[in-house]
Amino acid sequence: MTAPVRAGDNARLRMGVLGMVVLSLFAALYARLWFLQVVANPESTRAVIINQVRVVPEEAPRGRILDRQGRIVVDNRVSEAVTINRVKFKNDVDTVTRLAALLQLPPAVLVNRMNDQRFSPYKPVPVAEDVPESVVVYLAEHRDEFPGVEAQQLTERAYPNGNLAAHLLGYVGEINDKELKGRKGEGYRLGDEIGKAGVEKSYEEFLRGAPGLTKLEVDSRGKVLQTLDSQPPEQGKDVQLTMDLDVQRLTEESLAQGIEAARHATDKEAKKNFLAPAGAAVVIDPRDGSVLAMASFPTFTPGDFVNGIKPDVFAALNEPASHYPLNNRALSGQYAPGSTFKLITALAGLKDGLLQPTTTVDDHGSLKVGNRLFRNAGNRSYGRVNLPQAITVSSDVYFYQLGANFWYRRGQVGDGIQNTAREMGLGQPTGVALDAEARGRVPDPDTRKRLHDRSPKAFPEGKWFAGDNVNLAIGQGETVVTPMQLANAYATFANGGTLYTPRVAARVVEQDGRPVKDLGADVVRKVDLSAGRGAILAGLRGAVADPKGTAHGAFLGFNGFPVAGKTGTAQVSGKQDTALFVAMAPADDPQFVVAVVMEEAGFGGSSAAPVARRILEGLAGKPPGPVQLAGGVD
């Protein structure tokens, strides 16, 4: 390379190279253009449409909940709310401060609500509910000072009867992630309301309306240009319950009065007042399993859950000292049935031929089984008693003997008592359409062994003895039932042997009352009660009517219809006795079964029976007097 390179020598070549580079660059652009506009065009056309259409859902008002007679139990009400349109709102310190002052909210709370992610970005966000009329007027008159702020009417759940039937009705709340996952494909969205408990939860599919859908064309900034399609929300269907508001009110009042009375009564054994922290009462129509009333004490206010429950209110509901009001003890409370279980033992004895109505036992006040001595409650002795008498006075010895006989004859009858208990619906959920139902427990040698094998520390005894059968016969030991199971078992006896699934809802109707769906009675099974039912019924009537009857004192002066019933007093280790009473009335053709269970409240005959008496007075059409505790009998 001695000679200088002159441009002219290879200028042509260099220009040519440049031309080739330029050509290939243009070729690349054309190739890409062809790919985008021809190959990728169909897919892009779809994407562009999705790009520009926003679907804004509008929640529908829920259906109402009605009582047996069609009276409104849960309603919707319109609330004046202040909403903020996030696109239009002038989000500066000055506007926020002025608005916060107007709404009497701390500015930080206002900002938090405004930025709440659960609200659709295409819908105004409610930042304050139930604002006074003056604020609505002020906002209307000073519109330009608060751009994007508006007073709007929102619908929310209303409870005209306060906290009546709270556990039955349940409450609504904002859908959570788990519920959202479980209900995929049902059109739920974050921030939607959903039934969280009770009827609100079980009948969600009817109560929830069809959300409205509005299709909007929006630009890249989310500004709405036009409405493409609009489908208004459709209110949910009304659910008519089997519950009767009057009976429910009567039941709740009676239970509360009884518990209050028990708290003022002295436990002679413990030498202090009864604690009586909680209780439950259930009223069933035995003819079809309709639940007329279901009460659990203590209770809560479903209205507290509207628009999200306040943290301090929620904390108070979960405070041990308040005895967990959210628990529905009628369904999730599990109690030793005590002597109310004798109905089952008697039925089992009759069915398996271990007992005749005329079979007598000489009750000396105690029975020795193996090397253990089992005594009557209060060390009473009733002399020679037959089956009806044994039920009326609640002779333990009579049933100890029967329980022992079942053990001796187990080769022929197996676990006869347990089998009958299960036939009558114990030890399994009743299937009522409400959440959080406990299954109870009917123990037998197998379950005992399983429990022991699983956790030998908690259940040190893995074997079943004659004494266990003796305890089982009078409803002690490991047997537990829910108040609903107890009521349903007695209802099965009362109607002659049909075990129903207790029903809380009768039908689904439109707002104008047109029927949508009938929720009929549901038979689980028929139980053969032909052997000796009359003798048992006589015994149950005697418990109320006979001067020796365990509930006689509680029903002194009762002049409604004839009542049959059974008291129960269950011993719970480390606690005061559980008081139980189950009644059916009118005794010849029962229309009502009433079960009352009161924790740590003493004798069934003295605490629980007076509560049932007051409920039955009301059911019989008599003005119910105050609950008065009766003398102490088991």
Partner 1 sequence: MSLVFAALFVAGLGVLMVYSATQHRFEASPSFFMERQLLYVLLGLGAMAAAASIDYRIYRDHAHLVYGATVLLLVLVVSPLGSNRKGAQAWFQLGSFQLQPSEWAKVALIVCIAAYGAAHRGDLDGRRLIVLLGLAAVPMGLIELQPDLGTDLVFGAILLGTLLVAGARPRHMAALGLLAVLAVVAVFHFGLLKDYQRDRLTAFLDPKGDTQRSAYNLNQSKLAISHGGVTGQGLFKGTQTNLSYVPEQHTDFIFTVVGEELGLVGSGTLLALFAFLVWRIWRAAALAKDLTGTLICIGVLAMFVFQIFENVGMTMGIMPITGIPLPFMSYGGSATLAEFAAIGLVLNVHMRRFS
Q: Which residues bind to partner 1, rule: CB under 8 A?
A: 4-8, 11, 14-15, 17-19, 22, 25-26, 28-30, 32-34, 36-38, 40-41, 43-45, 47-48, 51-52, 217-221, 225
Q: Shortest gap between Cβ of 6 and partner 1 (angstroms)?
A: 5
Q: What is the CA radius of gyration of the chain?
A: 35
Q: Which CA distances in Å does 566 have to 255, 514, 536?
A: 17, 42, 11
Nearer to partner 1, 35 or 314 (CB): 35
Instruction: Output the smallest distance, CB 45 to partner 1, in A.
Output: 6
Q: Where are the alpha helices (DSSP H) in 65-105?
A: 93-103
Based on CB atoms, which residue is closest to partner 1, 34 or 314? 34
Least separation in angstroms between CB 218 and partner 1: 8
The sign one gets for the Cα dihedral 603, 607, 613, 616 is: negative
The answer to whether 266 touches 94, Cβ cutoff 8 Å, is no
Q: Which tokens belong to 189?
A: 């969205």
* Helix boundaries (H) for 264-301: none
Contact call for residues 488 and 425 (beta carbons, < 8 A) = yes
Give the nearer residue to partner 1 in terms of CB position, either 7 or 458: 7
Least distance (Å) from partner 1 to the CB of residue 88?
16
Whose Cβ is closer to partner 1: residue 219's or residue 453's?
219
41 vs 358, beta carbon nearer partner 1: 41
Smaller CB separation from partner 1, 29 or 315:
29
The single residue listed with the structure tokens 């079960």 is 595
- 30 or 314, CB closer to partner 1? 30
Closest separation in Å from C-beta 117 to partner 1: 16
Residue number, 15 or 137, with CB nearest to partner 1: 15
Distance of closest approach, residue 44 Cβ to partner 1, in angstroms: 4
Tell how far CA 474 is from the center of its chain. Answer: 30
Q: Long-range contacts of range 315-322, CB-CB < 8 Å, 24 or more positions apart?
A: 322/298
Neighbours of 540 (CB within 10 A): 29
What's the rounded Cα separation, in Å, for the pair 380 and 368?
15
Q: How far is CA 228 from CA 57, 85, 108, 498, in A?
A: 14, 20, 37, 57
Contact 337, 486 (CB under 8 A): yes
Residue carrying structure tokens 């859902």: 57
- 6 vs 463, beta carbon nearer partner 1: 6
Query: In angstroms, what is the minimal distance from the CB of 229 to partner 1?
Result: 17
Furthest C-alpha separation in the chain: 143
The two tokens of residue 218 are 């929006």
Least distance between partner 1 and beta carbon 225 (Å): 7
SS3 assignment, position 286:
coil
Smallest distance, partner 1 to C-beta of residue 2, A: 12
